[in-house]
Amino acid sequence: MGEAPLKPAPFGFAKARSVEHAIALLSQHADARLLAGGQSLIATLNMRLSAPKLLIDINALDDLKRVTRTGDMLTIGALVRHAEAEHSDMIARGAPLIARALPHIAHPAIRNRGTVGGSIAYADPAAELPACLLALGGEVEVANAAGRRRVKADDFFKDLFETALGPGDVLTAIHVPAARAESRYGFAELARRHGDYALVGLAAAARADGTVVKDVRLAFFGVGPTPVRARAAEAAVERGEDAVAALAQDLAPPDDVQASAAARRHLAGVLLRRVALQLQGGRS
């Protein structure tokens, strides 16, 4: 068997022993990338869309593989894999919105490797988890040489594949408010085939207050360069008004090969009607 040419460009490989070690490696090497589940990164390496000098494998960092509950917050470690999160009782109880979104992410073999932190850090605008984090009003925990900080989801997603993460940063966990008796959630997405990135999707959270819902947060995905809060529609849902009409102020979806902007606007309205019913029907 002759040596076949390899698809990725050459890179060095280092296994991080701790978060501190990963941060040190990032600071010592220009053009280094963290490798978590690799389900997006390795595809881009294979296509040579990215060609880092060094890959820093963080898969051995057991501290980042935990799901914990502290008071009224649920913390999901960055290296919790999609399949683990999908079958976690703690996530099913504490973050039912995330539990409902997970089966829509890609396919079983990809969910067995892909990580929660990787999805958030990669920030694909058509991906489910960034929108869920935004709908829940969660936070991203980031470590670097200066220490640890938390970034609110509303401030984290900056632009297409661009986040608040800087070159020396390691995303270590996400924090979301744990579900309470009055919490209401909604989720719906449309894709051409199960597991594909959404044409349009919507993740939503709210608080039931008697017969109305308050604190509505609607996070659309697949409609712009980042997950998008639909603030006019949120207010309309809270007032019991026509939220679909309000949506026109919130969304300016793109035309692309998958769907026209007009089709996306229409589908966003369809999803909003479904999700508003979920929020008001108390199904969480």
Partner 1 sequence: MTERFCDLALTINGEPVRERVDARKTLVDFLRDDLGLTGSHVGCEHGVCGACTVRLDGAIVRGCLTLAVQCDGASVETIEGVADSGAIADLQQAFQARNALQCGFCTPGMLLTAQALLARGGVPSREQIREHLSGNYCRCTGYHAIVDAIEAVAQARAGRTT
Q: How far is the CB of 14 from partner 1 (least distance, A)?
A: 4
Q: How far is the CB of 53 from partner 1 (least distance, A)?
A: 9
Q: How far is the CB of 210 from partner 1 (least distance, A)?
A: 38
How far apart are the C-alpha atoms of 189 and 231, rounded to whole Å?
19
| DSSP assignment string, 12-67 | EEEE-SSHHHHHHHHHHSTTEEEESS-TTHHHHHHTTS---SEEEE-TT-GGGG-E
Q: x/- contact string, 68-107, with partner 1 (CB under 8 A)?
A: ---------------x-------------------x--xx
Q: What is the dihedral of CA 96, 98, 101, 105, to 10 degrees?
A: -150
Q: Is 7 in the site for partner 1 (CB under 8 A)?
A: yes
Q: Is 24 in the site for partner 1 (CB under 8 A)?
A: no
Q: Is 245 in the site for partner 1 (CB under 8 A)?
A: no
Q: How many CB atoms lie within 10 A of CB 4?
A: 6
- Please count the residues of this chain forming the interface with partner 1, following the rule CB under 8 A: 38
E strand intervals along the chain: 12-15, 32-35, 54-57, 67-70, 73-77, 139-144, 147-152, 157-159, 162-163, 170-177, 183-190, 200-209, 212-221, 228-229
Cβ atoms of 66 and 77 closer than 8 Å: yes
15 phi and psi angles, rounded to 5 deg: -100, 120
Q: Is 188 in the site for partner 1 (CB under 8 A)?
A: no
Q: How far is the CB of 20 from partner 1 (least distance, A)?
A: 15
Q: Is 11 in the site for partner 1 (CB under 8 A)?
A: yes
Span interacting with partner 1, options 54-62, 139-147, 158-166, 223-231, rule CB under 8 A: 54-62
Q: How far is the CB of 275 from partner 1 (least distance, A)?
A: 21
How far apart are the C-alpha atoms of 176 and 203, rounded to whole Å?
14
Q: Which residue of 19, 22, 45, 143 would you call a contact of partner 1, by CB under 8 A?
A: 45
How far apart are the C-alpha atoms of 231 and 243, rounded to whole Å?
10
Q: Is 258 in the site for partner 1 (CB under 8 A)?
A: no
Site for partner 1 in 101-120 (CB under 8 A): 103, 106-110, 112-113
Cβ atoms of 199 and 192 closer than 8 Å: yes
Judged by beta carbon, residue 40 or residue 226, the one nearer partner 1 is: 40
Quick one: which of 192, 207, 188, 80 has its CA closest to 132?
188
Q: How far is the CB of 38 from partner 1 (least distance, A)?
A: 6
Q: How far is the CB of 116 from partner 1 (least distance, A)?
A: 16
Cβ atoms of 246 and 232 closer than 8 Å: yes
Give Cα 219 distance to the centre of its chain: 11
Q: Is 39 in the site for partner 1 (CB under 8 A)?
A: yes
Q: Is 257 in the site for partner 1 (CB under 8 A)?
A: no
Where do contacts with partner 1 occur on this chain (CB under 8 A)? 1, 3-4, 6-14, 25, 29, 35, 38-39, 42-43, 45-47, 54-55, 57, 59, 83, 103, 106-110, 112-113, 193-195
